[in-house]
A and B are shown apart, each in its own frame.
Chain A
Amino acid sequence: KQEVTQIPAALSVPEGENLVLNCSFTDSAIYNLQWFRQDPGKGLTSLLLIQSSQREQTSGRLNASLDKSSGRSTLYIAASQPGDSATYLCAVIYSGAGSYQLTFGKGTKLSVIP
Chain B
Amino acid sequence: DTGVSQNPRHKITKRGQNVTFRCDPISEHNRLYWYRQTLGQGPEFLTYFQNEAQLEKSRLLSDRFSAERPKGSFSTLEIQRTEQGDSAMYLCASSLVKGSHSPLHFGNGTRLTVT
Contacts and interface: CB of A to CB of B under 8 A. Distances in A.
Interface in B28-60: 31, 33, 35, 40-45, 48, 55-56, 58
Q: 3 tightest A-B contacts by CB? A: A104-B42, A101-B45, A44-B106
Contact of B91 (A31, A44, A101, A105): A44
Interface in A43-91: 43-46, 49, 51, 89, 91
Contacts of A100: 31, 48, 55-56, 97, 101
Given A43-B108, A44-B91, A45-B106, A101 B101 contact: no
Contacts, number: 63
Contact of B109 (A32, A36, A42, A46): A42
Interface of A: 4, 31-32, 34, 36, 41-46, 49, 51, 89, 91, 93, 99-107
A111 B109 CA distance: 23
A113 to B, nearest CB: 22
28 contacts: A4-B42, A31-B101, A32-B101, A34-B104, A41-B111, A43-B6, A43-B106, A43-B108, A44-B91, A45-B106, A46-B104, A49-B101, A51-B100, A91-B42, A91-B43, A100-B48, A100-B55, A100-B56, A100-B101, A101-B45, A101-B48, A101-B58, A102-B33, A102-B35, A102-B43, A102-B45, A106-B40, A107-B42
